[in-house]
Amino acid sequence: MAALTLAVERLAAATVLSCHGSLVAASAMQLETALSQVLLRPQVRIVVDLGAVASMDCTCVMMLRVTAGIAAEQGGTLVLAAPGPAVVHTLREGGTLSSIPTYRSVQAALDDDASALIGEAEAAPATTPWPVNQADRRSA
């Protein structure tokens, strides 16, 4: 199982779920359990702190999208905060940056600071091609 630690902090404005480690298929049940518990709160506003997440796969991206939908059905919201570059890339590839508000910091998410949203353009892949070892290239 991938190493994942979760911490829940209940604030007046929101519940912050801080994730530490890898959000991958092997840790999906831990994430699902934590999100299910947070959804039981009467006024659902969830901030998922991704600042300490080393990697994320499509399983957990989809779980976040489903949970955001459930929160919306209950009149609440789920937002993401502080993802690193690798996580931003995964969120963009999964179409999640356009469907779940993603903020640069937890405080910005708590404040609902629109100027701190991470946009699709910021998460665009680098225009520099992958490095190639010239010695490995075949001669034509």
Q: Domain ranges in the chain?
A: 4-120
Tell me the pTM. 0.84
* φ, ψ for residue 31, nearest 5 deg: -65, -45
**Residue 3: per-residue pLDDT:** 83
48-81: pLDDT as tens digits: 999 999 999 999 999 999 999 999 999 999 999 9
Dihedrals phi, psi of 27, to nearest 5 degrees? -110, 5
**For residue 46, which of 4, 73, 80, 12 has the smallest C-alpha distance?**
80
Q: Could you tell me the pLDDT band of residue 118, with boundaries at 50, 70 and 90? A: very high
Query: Closest Cα partner for 17 from 42, 62, 52?
Result: 52
Q: Please give the CATH architecture assigned to the domain spanning 4-120.
A: 2-Layer Sandwich (3.30)
Beta strands in the chain (DSSP E): 4-10, 15-23, 45-56, 77-81, 102-103
